[in-house]
């Protein structure tokens, strides 16, 4: 079925290095993608989004890349800091019949090593 | 600061004893959502309100009900909690319906069923 999934459940990164979190999706008609960060004991927090008419979008220390050819989404975090420790979810919002429904990936836990 | 507020943050209830979780928002958003999130999983949408229009997800158990008495408040009622209902319950809002409107999440209420 249609789904959004992540390749790695846990990612360990040295503090100061760049982090790359990956996500695959299966619906080629999907047109909007979002990355959320969820710290322990908190609700998800919007990080960055991208529409399907774009390949790349940059925020503060974060970049999202969208490769529609292989249906792949990635989140890059530059100069990873301890405060980046969290679970990161990609989510896909399919308009059409499900205006409200966010299709969530499984999540990747990012661990920062000192 | 405008935000999504959930009370209480931690709730303990007994098996079969009705429980109500609360959510309020100061964002004046039209849409409010309730999600269930179990450990190490992505949030799962239970239902949402667009203004007073209630929308139930097809696989949401009948045990879960919701009320939205006004724009600012939304309640999640669990009529007869089972052990499997222990989870984090997240409330979210968005300004409008539609797949390009960001969802803002509250901190969640962690429900324990004894």
DSSP B94-107: ESSSSTTSPPEE--
Q: How are the residues of chain B apportioned to helix, strand and coil, as percentages rounded to the nearest 5?
A: 5, 50, 45
Q: What are the angstrom distances between the C-alpha of A33 and each of A29, A90, B61, B76?
A: 12, 7, 28, 28
Residue B47 near residue B35, CB atoms below 8 Å: no
Name residues 86-105 of chain B within 8 A of A (Cβ). 90, 92, 97-100, 102-105
> Could you read off the pLDDT of B28-73 as tens digits, one per residue?
999 999 999 998 899 999 999 999 888 888 889 999 999 999 999 9
Residues of B in contact with A49 (CB under 8 A): 102
- Residue B81 near residue B6, CB atoms below 8 Å: no
Closest CA to B35 of A91, A109, A64: A91
A82 touches chain B (CB under 8 A): no
| Interface with B, mutate which of A30, A43, A86, A103 (most B CBs under 10 A) | A43
**A114 vs A16: CA distance, rounded Å:** 9
With CB atoms and an 8 Å threshold, state whether A99 touches B100: no
B-chain CB neighbours of A31 within 8 Å are: 99
Nearest Cα of chain B lies from the Cα of A14 at a distance, in angstroms, of 23
Which residues have C-beta within 8 Å of that of residue B84, sequence separation ≥ 6? none
Number of CB pairs < 8 Å for A and B?
54
Cα end-to-end span (Å), chain B: 35
Local confidence pLDDT in tens for the 114 residues of chain A: 334 554 458 999 999 999 999 999 878 888 889 999 999 989 999 999 999 999 999 999 999 999 999 999 999 999 999 999 999 999 988 765 555 678 898 899 999 998
């Amino acid at each position: 079925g249609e789904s959004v999934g992540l390749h790695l459940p846990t990612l360990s990164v040295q503090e100061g290095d760049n982090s790359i979190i990956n996500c695959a999706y299966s619906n080629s008609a999907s047109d909007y993608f979002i990355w959320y960060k969820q710290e322990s004991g908190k609700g998800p927090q919007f990080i960055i989004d991208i529409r399907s008419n774009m390949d790349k979008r940059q925020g503060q220390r974060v970049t999202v890349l969208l490769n529609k050819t292989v249906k792949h989404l990635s989140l890059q975090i530059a100069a990873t800091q301890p405060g980046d420790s969290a679970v990161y979810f990609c989510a896909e919002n399919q308009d059409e019949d499900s205006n409200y429904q966010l299709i969530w990936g499984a999540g990747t836990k990012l661990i920062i090593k000192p | 600061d405008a935000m999504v507020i959930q009370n209480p943050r931690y709730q303990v209830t007994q098996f079969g004893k009705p429980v109500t979780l609360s959510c309020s928002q100061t964002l004046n958003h039209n849409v409010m959502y309730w999600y269930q999130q179990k450990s190490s999983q992505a949030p799962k949408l239970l239902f949402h309100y667009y203004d007073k229009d209630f929308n139930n997800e097809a696989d949401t158990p009948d045990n879960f009900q919701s009320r939205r008495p006004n724009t600012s408040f939304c309640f999640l009622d669990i009529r007869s909690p089972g052990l499997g209902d222990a989870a984090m319950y997240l409330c979210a809002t968005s300004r409008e319906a539609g797949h390009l409107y960001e969802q803002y999440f509250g901190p969640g209420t962690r429900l324990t069923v004894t």
